[in-house]
Amino acid sequence: MTKSSQSYAERERCPLYTAIQVIAGRWKPMIFQRLNGDARGFGELRRSMPGVTIKVLRQQLRERESDGLVKKTVSPRPRLKVRYELTEHGLTLGPLMETLWSWGVAHLAHSKMLA
């Protein structure tokens, strides 16, 4: 086993690395924030996230689904309606995201003091 593959295997088993990988990304925190406690349609999500492309939003939602964090519900009648919401497991991220938000606010204030 090479040093690179050992490092990769170690990261795959690391709970902290796994958690960061699940929440890190340009749109992942925004998706979580938009869905926290509220089911939304695809178009509604897209309009609430200026700058995200349809392709990227679809990809991010699919990844969240495969992680078991987001559930997609399709209602075919009378008009096709697709809704996304956090799963029970996805809702467990709430306290972590609140802590990260608070830390980010404090860090921004700290950074301004240093400037």
Q: Helices marked H in the chain — which ranges?
A: 3-13, 15-23, 28-35, 42-47, 54-66, 88-91, 94-114
Name all domains of the chain by residue range, CATH numbers in brackets: 27-114 (1.10.10.10)
- In tens digits, the chain (115 residues) has pLDDT values of 566 666 667 777 899 888 888 888 889 999 999 999 889 999 999 999 999 999 999 999 999 999 999 999 998 878 888 999 999 999 999 999 999 999 999 999 998 888 7
Q: What is the pLDDT of residue 2?
A: 63
Q: What is the pLDDT of residue 3?
A: 61
Q: How far is CA 22 from the centre of its chain?
A: 7
Beta-bridged to residue 72, according to DSSP, are: 84
pTM (two decimals)? 0.80
